[in-house]
């Protein structure tokens, strides 16, 4: 298990292992929906690019860090169908839907869905009619390399 065990420090999972797992999950969902996906600055998402990531202190203690990535893509005809497909796809990997709600902003109707696994990974999928997003957080690790930028 990669997540922080209760009552103890997070395991020292190697940073590149966590990063590659997180980027793989992101790529899986982007391919499942289809279309072109970019970072907020317009740079095309490339799951093979692992340089310049650094873990953030968002694990609830001062020793554990996690990686995160946020990408944006095209809209979908049916947010309901897209989020159902995502839940079904990731269920085989041990993810469960932990939150889902509908909203709209600036003419974009969307479903916001959170999928989580027992290792502490989470996928937040916003399937929208005009624009969609994928926000993935890795599980936590206390490995010292998590505070450094990946080479």
In a domain, 43, yes or no: yes
In a domain, 21, yes or no: yes
Rounded to the nearest angstrom, the gap between the alpha carbon of residue 35 and the centroid of all alpha carbons in its chain is 17
Residue 8 has a pLDDT of 37
3-state secondary structure of 18: helix
Asked if pLDDT for residue 104 goes beyond 80, the answer is yes
- The Cα–Cα gap between 110 and 50 comes to 30
Domain range for 51 is 15-121+138-147
In a domain, 1, yes or no: no
Q: What is the pTM (predicted TM-score) of this model?
A: 0.90
- The Cα–Cα gap between 67 and 55 comes to 5
In a domain, 44, yes or no: yes
147 band by pLDDT with thresholds 50, 70 and 90: very high
122 contacts: CB under 8 Å, gap ≥ 6? 98, 114, 115, 116, 136, 137
In a domain, 126, yes or no: no
Rounded to the nearest angstrom, the gap between the alpha carbon of residue 43 and the centroid of all alpha carbons in its chain is 18
Residue 4 has a pLDDT of 37
85 band by pLDDT with thresholds 50, 70 and 90: very high
């Amino acid at each position: 298990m990669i997540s922080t065990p209760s009552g103890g420090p997070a395991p020292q999972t190697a940073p590149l292992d966590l990063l590659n797992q997180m980027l793989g999950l992101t790529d899986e969902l982007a391919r499942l929906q289809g279309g072109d996906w970019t970072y907020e600055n317009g740079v095309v998402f490339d799951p093979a690019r692992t340089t310049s990531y650094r873990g953030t202190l968002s694990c609830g203690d001062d020793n554990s860090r996690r990686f995160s990535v946020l990408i944006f893509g095209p809209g979908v005809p049916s947010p309901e169908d897209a989020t159902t497909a995502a839940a079904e796809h990731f269920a085989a990997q041990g993810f469960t839907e932990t939150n889902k709600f509908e909203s709209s902003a600036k003419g974009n109707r969307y479903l916001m869905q959170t999928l989580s696994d027992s290792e502490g990974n989470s996928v937040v999928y916003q399937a929208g009619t005009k624009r969609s997003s994928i926000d993935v957080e890795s599980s936590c690790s206390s490995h010292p390399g998590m505070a450094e930028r990946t080479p």
